[in-house]
Amino acid sequence: MITGNCGISVAPLRSDMVLPMPLSLVDGPGATRYKSFAAYFEALCSTPSSVNVAALVGHTTLRAGTMGSLDRPAAEREIRAMRAGVQEALDAGVIGLSIDTACLPAMKATTQEIIEVARPLSACQALYVTHMRDETDHMIEAVEETFRIGRELGVAVIVSHSKVQNRLPTSDVRRRRWN
């Protein structure tokens, strides 16, 4: 079971955090909040799951825990804090970072913010897993952004929920070679 897709992970979550949608989906009655992935993995080991678990740290989770206002790009100090959160999660054993730039609050993240937050992935060849920014009119640009992030980090990219929702006009369809 891969947990933490689309930017939503069960850690790191502080007990005092107000969780924005869609992050609030992990916080129902009786839910436990894990302040770190080390705490989450410890809980999994003490009460083993019936399936194997591989976890991704969620960019939305990191953003919500770091930023006061989520309707803007992150400031440099916030990027550093999120990058530290990615490193802590990797050190604990996550397999990569997930993001969902199609929805708030990650929608406001710039491409450069994503690259800088995800920098720790490069050292251990962790995964970059994305629900891309657009699946309609700007699908080509979203794919280009995704591949740019993977190239700049030198890591494998997994595209979640890949679909095209609108038909592109023939004049907009271009043959491209993505490396």
Is residue 63 in some structural domain?
yes
Of residues 101, 98, 59, 103, the one with CA closest to residue 81: 59
Give the global pTM. Answer: 0.87
Instruction: Sheet containing 157-159: give its strands across.
Output: 2-3, 54-58, 96-100, 127-131, 157-159
Is residue 95 in some structural domain?
yes
| pLDDT tens sequence for the chain (179 residues) | 999 999 999 999 988 888 888 888 887 777 888 999 999 999 999 987 788 899 999 999 999 999 988 999 999 999 999 999 999 999 999 999 999 998 888 999 999 999 999 999 999 999 999 999 887 778 889 999 999 999 999 999 999 877 666 665 555 445 444 44
Is residue 89 in some structural domain?
yes
Is residue 30 in some structural domain?
no
Is 57 in a helix, a strand, or coil?
Answer: strand
Is residue 23 in some structural domain?
no
Cα 19 from Cα 40, distance rounded (Å): 18
Q: Residue 177 has what pLDDT?
A: 47
Is residue 46 in some structural domain?
no
Q: Residue 48 has what pLDDT?
A: 76
Q: Residue 18 has what pLDDT?
A: 83
Compute φ and ψ for 126, nearest 5 degrees.
Answer: -75, 170
Number of domains in the chain: 1
What CATH number is given to the structural domain containing 146? 3.20.20.140
Is residue 5 in some structural domain?
yes
Cα 57 from Cα 7, distance rounded (Å): 7
Is residue 71 in some structural domain?
yes
Residue 90 is part of which domain span? 1-13+53-163+175-179
Tokens of 7: 């930017």
Instruction: Return the number of other C-beta atoms located less than 10 Å from residue 34's C-beta.
Output: 20
